Amino acid sequence: MRAVQLMEQGRSVEEITDILGVSRSSVFDWQRKYRVGGLAALSTKFASGRPTTLSEEQMTQLCSLLVGKDPRRYGLGFALWTRKLVGELIHQRFGHRLSPMTVGRILRKLGMSPQRPVYRATQADPEKVRAWTEVTYPTLRARATEAGASIFFADEAGVRTDHHAGATWAPVGRTPVVSATGDRQSVNMVSAVSPRGALHFQLVEGSMTAEVFTQYLTALLHDIPGIIFLVVDGSSAHTAKKTKDFVAATGGRLGLYFLPP
Tell me if 83 is assigned to some domain: no
Tell me if 41 is assigned to some domain: yes
pLDDT value at residue 90: 95
Alpha helices by DSSP H, listed for 40-147, are 56-66, 83-94, 100-109, 126-131, 137-147
> SS3 of 159, please?
strand
The pTM score is 0.66
Q: Which residues pair with 151 in a beta bridge?
A: 229
Tell me if 115 is assigned to some domain: no
Cα 6–8–188 angle (5° rounding)?
A: 35
The total of structural domains in the chain comes to 1
Tell me if 6 is assigned to some domain: yes
For residue range 214-251, list pLDDT tens digits in order: 999 999 999 999 999 999 989 999 999 999 999 999 99
Tell me if 11 is assigned to some domain: yes
C-beta neighbour count of 188 within 10 angstroms: 21
Tell me if 251 is assigned to some domain: no
Tell me if 29 is assigned to some domain: yes
For residue range 171-201, list pLDDT tens digits in order: 333 332 333 333 434 688 899 988 888 889 9
Boundaries of domain holding 11: 2-49
Tell me if 117 is assigned to some domain: no
